Amino acid sequence: MHATVKDLRLQARALLAATQRGEVVEITLRGKPCARLVGLAANQAEERPSRNPAFGLWADREEMDVDAEVRRFRASRTFGIND
């Protein structure tokens, strides 16, 4: 299916419905292809993002108290300007 940028602006809902039916919509700007609308497969739409590798970084640290370290990071800072 082909549509112009103007069609995309005025009939976005209909074009998105076409992608949900499995159609690929090619968008043209001044007669030249510039984009392609493709619907997501059912399994891609429900895919969860990968886990951040930094999550739980300190979970197994025994040589320090994690809560105390976080409090130290969040403590107000002094810069020695008025000392």
The answer on pLDDT for 68 being more than 80 is yes
Mean pLDDT of the chain: 84
Tell me the per-residue pLDDT of 15-38, one tens digit each, with 9 for 90 and over: 999 999 999 999 999 999 999 999
Rounded to 5 degrees, what angle do the CA atoms 37, 43, 49 make?
90
Token pair listed for 77: 């800072």
- First and final C-alpha spacing in the chain: 71
pTM of structure: 0.50
Cβ within 8 Å of residue 22, ≥6 positions away: 39
Alpha helices in the chain, H assignment, sequence order? 5-10, 12-20, 42-45, 66-74
Domains within the chain, CATH numbers bracketed: 2-41 (3.40.1620)
d(CA 32, CA 28): 5
What's the confidence (pLDDT) of residue 47?
A: 65
